[in-house]
Amino acid sequence: MVCSDVSLDELVGFHVGIDAFGYANLGILYQAEFPVGAVYCIRAGAVKLMKSTPSGEHRILRVLKTGDVAGLESAFAETYEHTAVAIGKVQACRIPITHFRRFVAGYPDLQVRLLQKSAAALREAETWYSAMLGSGTPARVRVARLLLRLRAGSSDRIHRLSLDDMAAMAGITRETVSRAISEFIRMGILVKSGSGMNTRHFRGDMPALEKIAQPD
Binding site for DNA (CB under 7 A): 135-140, 162-164, 171-176, 178-179, 181-182, 195-198
Q: Does 216 bind its own copies (CB under 8 A)?
A: yes
Residue 15: phi and psi, rounded to 5, are -75, 0
Residue 155 binding target from its own copies, DNA, none, CB below 5 to 8 Å by type: none
* CA distance linking residue 192 with residue 212, whole number of Å: 19
Work out how close the CB of 128 gets to DNA at its nearest, in angstroms, rounded to a whole number: 17
Residue 179 binding target from DNA, its own copies, none, CB below 5 to 8 Å by type: DNA
DSSP 39-97: EEEEEEEEEEEEEE-TTS-EEEEEEE-TT-EETGGGTTSSB-SSEEEEEEEEEEEEEEH
Residue 152 binding target from its own copies, DNA, none, CB below 5 to 8 Å by type: none
Residue 51 binding target from DNA, its own copies, none, CB below 5 to 8 Å by type: its own copies
CB 189 within 8 A of CB 115: no
Work out how close the CB of 79 gets to DNA at its nearest, in angstroms, rounded to a whole number: 28
State which residue, 27 or 138, has the beta carbon closest to DNA: 138
State which residue, 27 or 171, has the beta carbon closest to its own copies: 171
Site for its own copies in 129-188 (CB under 8 A): 129-130, 132-136, 171-173
* CA distance linking residue 89 with residue 68, whole number of Å: 15
Angle at 56 between CA 167 and CA 25, to 5 degrees: 55
